[in-house]
Amino acid sequence: MTSAIAAIALGSNLGDSPRILAAAIAHLDATPGISVQQTSRWYQTAPIGPPQPDYLNGCALVQVQLTPHQLLARLLEIENLFGRIRWERWGPRTLDLDLLFYDKTIVATPTLEVPHPRMRERAFVLVPLAEIAPDWVDPVSGEAIGQLLQRIDIRGVQTLYN
Which CB atom, from 52 or from 67, has the smaller least distance to ligand PH2? 52
CB 9 within 8 A of CB 25: no
We find the least distance from the C-beta atom of residue 21 to ligand PH2, in angstroms, to be 11
When asked if residue 48 is in the footprint of ligand PH2 (CB under 6 A), the reply is yes
Shortest distance, CB of residue 162 to ligand ATP, whole angstroms? 26
Of 61-80, binders to ligand ATP (CB under 6 A) are: 72, 76
C-beta separation of 79 from 95 below 8 A: yes
Residues annotated as catalytic are 84, 93, 96, 98
* 55 part of the interface to ligand PH2, by CB under 6 A: yes
Can you state the angle between helices 68-81 and 17-29, rounded to 10 degrees? 140
CA 30 centroid distance within chain: 18
Backbone conformation region of residue 93, classed left if phi is above 0, alpha if psi is from -120 to 50, else beta: beta
Q: Cα 153 to the chain's mean position, in Å?
A: 19
Shortest Å distance, C-beta 124 to ligand PH2:
4
Partner from ligand ATP, ligand PH2, none binding residue 2, C-beta < 5-8 Å depending on class: none
